[in-house]
Amino acid sequence: MKKKIAILGSTGSIGKNLLDIINDDKKNFEVVLLTAKKNYKALLKQATNFKVKNIIIIDQESYKKAKQINKNNKINIYNDFTDFNKIFISKIDYTMSSIIGLDGLYPTLDIIKYTKTIAIANKEAIICGWSLIKKKLNLYKTKFLPVDSEHFSIWKILKSQKIENIDQIFITASGGPFLNKSINQIKNVKVSAALKHPNWKMGKKISIDSATMMNKVFEVVETKNIFSVSYKKISILIHPKSYIHAIVKFNDGTSQFLTHEPSMKIPIFNTLYLNHSKKIKSKNLDIDILNNLKLKKIDKNIFPVIKILESLPSKSSLFETVVVSANDQLVNLFINKKINFHEISKNILKIINMIEFQKYKKIKPKYIKDIHILSEYVRLKVNSLCV
């Protein structure tokens, strides 16, 4: 029987990688749903190639254009995630949630009841809405799998271990394009320079987050949420080659690390073929890299956003939404050349330390609307202070 699949955000890099994997094994998969925000042309092409009957396009204009192209109604085209109930008659086998930003939180939460397994590649959902996600996972007995290379690696290492046996978790960071630069050298760098990640091919937003090291702040929060460990047990190590993705030290004195080439296809493949002996094409073990790991601690003077970790509350709160939203808006301002690169870090540290936002450290997210309302307010606040 074919495994039924849904992909939220199929025109992004994660979605494309997943479809590439499925394309090599079409006989074993039925793609039930694909979604996109605006890229209707790519979405329709994907739907045709994989004989997908249902697609969702969120942008109204893109939705109308897709409907015009699809005059013979060979594909069911929807405009809202509330239409999940029209698409899924019973639980499907696997969902990939890879919509970028807080826009991905609602569909991630809503599709949980329709899928047996959900792989989540949406950082913002796990950071800001983990308590809501966890509640739904338990309610509908849905299995969760992490997709980010760091969290996939930790999960893989811990499969045969207990959480209470963990002494320390180390996630690695390449250091991005400015690892060996001074503060003065990176202060006024161009957007194009910040987008040149040395190891990974990623979208603009996450590439900038990698350049500031904000993505590692997010990954520490994700690690805390997913594996239920305290912040004091999580550390970051610079590893320029992105070959080792996580190291876990246990209470018995032993440590384990997981290595794979810097390709998202490997963690995606492993979540798709969970508990199946399927082989993926990969490069031979790189002994030269293993002999020259060059692991080191982060210099907070070069990457000051790391200081944010010192002010995060131990339990999930709305404060994480403040951090995520402020950073999102600052990155947008940098990409649109409204602020310089240095001002991303400078302003986020200033904004999250404002008295009006400190109260959110004690408020737990109860409803998705609370997260979205706060996010919009923070973005407006950032604009008023920085533009």
User: Residue 161: what residue type?
Assistant: Q
Calculate the CA 347 to chain-centre distance.
23
Domain ranges of the chain: 3-147, 148-263+271-308, 313-387
Q: How confident is the model at residue 17 (pLDDT cuts 50, 70, 90)?
A: very high
In this predicted structure, the answer to whether residue 271 has a pLDDT above a threshold of 80 is yes
Domain 3-147 belongs to what architecture?
Answer: 3-Layer(aba) Sandwich (3.40)
Residue bearing tokens 């991303």: 344
Q: Which amino acid is at 144?
A: F
pLDDT at 72 over 80: no
- The set of residues, in sequence order, having a beta carbon less than 8 Å from that of 3 and lying 6+ positions away, is 28, 29, 30, 93, 94
User: Is the alpha carbon torsion for 358, 364, 369, 372 positive or negative?
Assistant: positive
Would you say 147 and 268 are in contact if contact means Cβ atoms under 8 Å apart? yes
Cα–Cα distance between 269 and 20 in angstroms, integer?
Answer: 10
Instruction: Return phi, psi of residue 322, to 5°.
Output: -60, -50
- Per-residue confidence band for 76, with pLDDT thresholds at 50, 70 and 90: very high
Section 246-261 average pLDDT: 96
Q: Which long-range contacts (CB under 8 A, 24 or more apart) does 251-260 make?
A: 251/165, 251/166, 251/167, 252/165, 256/157, 257/153, 257/157, 258/153, 258/154, 258/156, 258/157, 259/285, 259/290, 260/149, 260/153
Q: What is the mean pLDDT of residues 102-120?
A: 97
User: CA nearest 321: which of 352, 347, 344, 354?
Assistant: 352
In DSSP notation, 192-227 reads HHHT--SS----HHHHHHHHHTHHHHHHHHHHHHHH
In the predicted model, what is the mean pLDDT of residues 28-51? 96
Flag whether pLDDT at 73 surpasses 90: no
- Provide mean pLDDT across the span 147-159: 95
For the cut 80, the answer to whether the pLDDT of residue 280 exceeds it is yes
**Predicted TM-score (pTM) of this structure:** 0.94
Q: Is the pLDDT of residue 200 over 80?
A: no
In this predicted model, which residue has the larger pLDDT, 358 or 179? 358
- Cβ neighbors of 180 (< 8 A, separation 6 or more) are none
Task: Please give the CATH topology (third level) of the domain spanning 313-387.
Answer: Rna Polymerase Sigma Factor; Chain: A (1.10.1740)
Q: Check residue 4 and give its pLDDT.
A: 97
Burial (CB count <10 Å: 0-12, 13-18, 19+), residue 213: buried
Phi, psi (deg, nearest 5) at residue 224: -60, -45
Domains 3-147 and 313-387 alike in fold = no
Q: How confident is the model at residue 181 (pLDDT cuts 50, 70, 90)?
A: confident
Q: What digits encode the pLDDT tens for the residues 210-239?
A: 999 999 999 999 999 999 999 999 999 999
User: What is the DSSP track for 351-372?
Assistant: HHTSHHHHGGGG-----HHHHH
Locate 222 and state its tokens. 């994700």
pLDDT confidence of residue 26: 94
**Burial class of 188 by CB neighbour count within 10 A (0 to 12, 13 to 18, 19+):** exposed
Q: Sorting pLDDT into bands at 50, 70 and 90, what band is 185?
A: confident
Rounded CA-CA distance 38/60 in Å is: 8
Mean pLDDT of 301-330: 96
Hey, is 377 helix, strand or coil?
Answer: helix
Q: Name the least confident of 10-24, 191-205, 315-329.
A: 191-205
Query: Percent of the chain beyond pLDDT 70?
Result: 100
CB 212 within 8 A of CB 305: yes
User: For the chain, what is the radius of gyration of the CA atoms?
Assistant: 21
pLDDT averaged over every residue in the chain: 94
